[in-house]
């Protein structure tokens, strides 16, 4: 029996990604496919590709109605949750420049980034209300302020803002950009602007060889470059469901891999060490046979640690 035809060809995926419309393609072909799974927030925190796409389109129209145009900046102070993915999906198809802000920073540090990135809109998580309100007070240029998951003084509720706008496909889509900030080990953090690169965006999907049935587990905070790209932008553009962890835990990682039949994830050597430090009975309790690619980086991996990981999981580690 021949395998079923894929829902989209590689050429169709590449064409969509060049315009920032990767998730939109999957919303058209398979709208009920899970896009974001959020175990911490339950079913209400998840999104299908259809819902993710519609909400991103609403946000694009809202941002445009507020006067934002291609090249303008949007700042995002948000934990790992579906709304983070929605803001990325919206800015990436509207030609906007997205700056995720590290929510571990102090209010003054966040304020510096918000002002320095010249954000005209600021989306913030209500669980970070104090930092968000203080940062917004130092960035008068961010006139549009939206609060996710609850209220923040001086911010408009995100849900109400979306509800006022049309979920129809975005007109005149244009690939957006990102500007993430360095840690600031020498002076102030520096914004690193990644210019729009439609061909590069399409090429980025190729090494992961995603196909139907694959699932990606996001283990790190999405404001970091690797989780932002490897664990959100690339899998969602490829139509791959994303399971979010909002705070990493070694044992929970194993439970989620087994529960959701995770095939891909991104880890760092410190996580390897903590996983290997779990009691043998915990590590052996879970079926991890679904894994086909564990991507790792951020720091050199000790040879012995990597050897033990390969002995445990098999030849699925990619550095």
For residue range 125-172, list pLDDT tens digits in order.
999 999 999 999 988 899 999 999 999 999 999 999 999 999 999 999
What is the chain's alpha carbon radius of gyration, rounded to the nearest angstrom? Answer: 19
Higher pLDDT, 107 or 168: 168
CA distance 115 to 179: 13
48 bridge partner residues: 34
- pLDDT confidence of residue 184: 75
- Mean pLDDT, the chain, rounded, equals 95
304-312 long-range Cβ contacts below 8 angstroms, 24+ apart: 305/269, 305/272, 305/273, 305/276, 306/272, 308/276, 309/272, 309/275, 309/276, 312/276, 312/283
The burial class, CB within 10 Å (0-12 / 13-18 / 19+), for 123 is buried
Q: What is the pLDDT of residues 27-71, one digit of tens each?
A: 999 999 999 999 999 999 999 999 999 999 999 999 999 999 999
Helix (H, G, I), strand (E, B) or coil at 308: helix
Q: Copy the structure tokens of residue 237.
A: 């553009």
Q: How far apart are CA 167 and CA 176, in angstroms?
A: 19
* pLDDT at 291 > cutoff 60: yes
Structure-model confidence comparison of residues 27 and 5, the more confident one? 27
How much is the average pLDDT of 265-288?
A: 96
- What's the whole-number mean pLDDT along residues 204-209? 92
pLDDT for 297: 85
Q: Three-state SS for 133?
A: helix
pLDDT at 2 over 70: no
- Give the pLDDT band (50/70/90) at residue 299: confident
Q: Where are the domains of the chain?
A: 10-244, 250-318
pLDDT band at 1 (very low <50, low <70, confident <90, very high): very low
Q: 101 Cβ partners below 8 Å, 6+ apart?
A: 75, 76, 77, 110, 113, 114, 135, 181, 223
Q: What angle do CA 301, 303, 304 make, to 5 degrees?
A: 115
Task: Confirm or reject CATH 3.40.50.980 for domain 250-318, answering yes or no.
Answer: yes
**Better-scored residue on pLDDT, 186 or 114:** 114
Q: Which two tokens stand for residue 23?
A: 């998730």
Are the C-beta atoms of residues 144 and 122 closer than 8 Å to each other? yes
CATH for the 10-244 domain, from 3.40.50.10790, 3.40.50.2000, 3.40.50.720, 3.40.50.980: 3.40.50.980
DSSP string covering 35-91, please?
Answer: EEE-TTT-GGG-EEHHHHHHHHHHHHHHHHHTT--TT-EEEEE--SSHHHHHHHHHH
Do 10-244 and 250-318 come out as alike in CATH topology? yes
Mean pLDDT of 176-192: 89
- Confirm if 290 and 262 have CB atoms less than 8 A apart: yes
């Amino acid at each position: 029996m021949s395998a079923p035809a894929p829902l989209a060809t590689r050429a169709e995926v590449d064409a969509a990604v060049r315009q920032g419309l990767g998730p939109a393609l999957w919303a058209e072909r398979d709208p009920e496919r899970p896009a974001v799974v959020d175990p911490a927030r339950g079913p209400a925190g998840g999104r299908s590709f259809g819902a993710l796409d519609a909400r991103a389109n609403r946000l694009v129209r809202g941002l445009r109605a507020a006067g934002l145009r291609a090249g303008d900046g949007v700042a995002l102070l948000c934990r790992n949750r579906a709304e983070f993915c929605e803001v990325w999906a919206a800015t990436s198809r509207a030609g906007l420049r997205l700056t995720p802000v590290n929510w571990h920073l102090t209010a003054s540090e966040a304020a510096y980034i918000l002002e320095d990135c010249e954000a005209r809109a600021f989306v913030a998580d209500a669980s970070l209300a104090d930092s968000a309100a203080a940062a917004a007070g130092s960035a008068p240029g961010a006139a549009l302020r939206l609060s996710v998951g609850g209220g923040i003084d001086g911010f408009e509720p995100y849900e109400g803002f979306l509800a006022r706008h049309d979920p129809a496909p975005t007109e005149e889509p244009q690939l957006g950009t990102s500007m993430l900030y360095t840690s600031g080990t020498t002076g102030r953090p520096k914004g690193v602007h990644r210019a729009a690169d439609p061909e590069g965006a399409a090429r980025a999907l190729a090494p992961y060889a995603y196909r139907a049935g694959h699932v990606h587990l996001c283990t790190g905070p999405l404001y970091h470059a690797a989780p932002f790209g490897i664990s959100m932008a690339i899998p969602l553009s490829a139509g791959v469901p994303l399971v979010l962890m909002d705070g990493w835990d070694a044992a929970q990682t194993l439970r989620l891999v087994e529960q959701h039949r995770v095939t891909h994830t991104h880890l760092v050597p410190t996580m390897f060490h903590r996983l290997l430090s779990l009691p043998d009975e915990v590590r052996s309790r879970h079926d991890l046979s679904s894994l086909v690619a564990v991507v790792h980086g951020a720091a050199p991996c000790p040879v012995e640690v990597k050897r033990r990981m390969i002995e445990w999981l098999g030849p699925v580690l990619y550095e």
